[in-house]
Structure 1
Amino acid sequence: MIKSRNRHTPSNSARQAFKREIRDAIRGASSGFLFGIPLLYTMEVWWIGSYAEPLPMLIALLTNFVVVFLLIRTEGFRGTVDTKIRDALMDSIETLAIGFVCTALLLVLLRQIDLATSINEAVGKIIFESVPFSLGVAVANSFLSGDRERGNNAPQSASPQSKTAAINATLTDVGATAIGALFIAFTIAPTQEVPMLASAMTPPWLLATIAVSLLISYGIVFVAGLTNQANRYQQKGLFHRPIDETLVAYIISLTAGLLMLWFFHQLSFEDPWTVWLSHTIVLGLPATIGGAAGRIVV
């Protein structure tokens, strides 16, 4: 029996190590989305990436790598600090890889990279757009990690006071989501990027944008282990289940984005409802990430 237990120990250790690796990667990617999404809606960066020559791209890549390496040496995206140079180098490469993958996926989603895009243009866009993503991944643990154990055993109460607390918690979540969504949407709504992106969106891509928005929001708040994730699972609001909260927060973020588009005259009542819908969904992606950021800090 002892031999049997020992025989299974390496497998269990490998499984735990794999789970930690996945959790660290999700935390890093979530932090990357928080840092990188505003620049992704900047057409000037698309143009720079589109026309960049190999040498500037290489310089940008090496500069990004050096900055990421220094951040990783300070305190990277993992739960533990790497003190060995070799480990920090490997984590820096992984950080850049996470930034590249997140950037590439969103550029494809936003129709800035497709089958007609040349390799040089696609690589240039990914390299320049991935800089804030990579920096966000690198500082995930330093600025956004939290105690994932705290609050797991919080007692639940059905007293009248708990109902009042639930209402207050719900209002706090709604306010934090709205503030975060408005903050991001306010900076993007006046620009021409939203109409430009929306014009290239067909219904399947709009549905994909909705799905990605919900997935990123859920990952940031309930999976990545950022700040008060344990407390989020224990929160007593009326929409206390993670899926319910994610859906409600998405609707709030869409509303915030729609209001900003109308406020900056990007939408008018003469426009067809399809234009309102496409513009709102496109702006809803960064607004939802902003709403998730608002919820993880309350």
Structure 2
Amino acid sequence: MADRGDQQASTRDHDRHENRHLLAQSSGRAFGGALLFALPLLMTMEIWSLALSVPRYRLALLMVATVVLVVFLSQHFGAGMPGVGWPGYLADAGVAFVMAAVAAVLVLGVLAVIEPLRNWQDALSITSLALLPAAVGASFARSQLGAGGRRTPTTTYGGELLLMAAGAVVFAANIAPTEEVVLLAAEIDPWHPVALVLLCLVLMHGFVYWVGFRGQESAAGGVLRSFLTLTVVGYVIALTVSAYLLWTFGRFDGAGAAMAVTEAVVLALPASLGAAAARLIL
């Protein structure tokens, strides 16, 4: 009996050690994913100043949107075991957020952009803006790039739309704070936005269904149906994400309706490619 008890205790100790090892590995992946996805934004000058001028309620809304997106990503593609339920999804999202915050604060602190100990309020504002791509990147890397990731195939329509929203966020969030979006929107001719929309639709559909990238899908239900229900809807999601981010960063302040739409269409170019890429990768 004593030998059996010692064996059970040894097994429990081994399991705890293995769980700690897996947690450390997945946290490291989350840290690396946060850096890969958010480093361009962390080193963009506009984000440092915008974070100090964006109204607090917009920052709060962005944080809420980030939390919702990452939690639902964890539900569909999290690093835990299938069937763990909402506590597991929330734990996945929590690890992604913690590692994203650590990565952002570390990089911004080393680059002397923030001083968390002396001016924590400004540091919190700048970090909050960077958390959107960082947390999505951390969630993706933690769940999908490791040997223990679930890598669950997306089989639902809602899952496809969620993937496209996440991809659009990552690509658009790194560009939305820059002045170039506003400059491009101000300089292009009236027919350019229409051409941009058509180009985005062709690129999105071609990347996913035509050109033979790894992960390419078949046009279920026919070409027209997949174009209308996934490509067009995916573009609408990318356009909506672009408009929301531009509004958050104050790019619509003082702009007319036509200018605001043009800015959103310009930013929707990288956002739509991100949406298409997410479907291929995941």
Give TM-score, length-normalised by structure 1. Answer: 0.45
Q: TM-score, normalised by structure 2?
A: 0.48
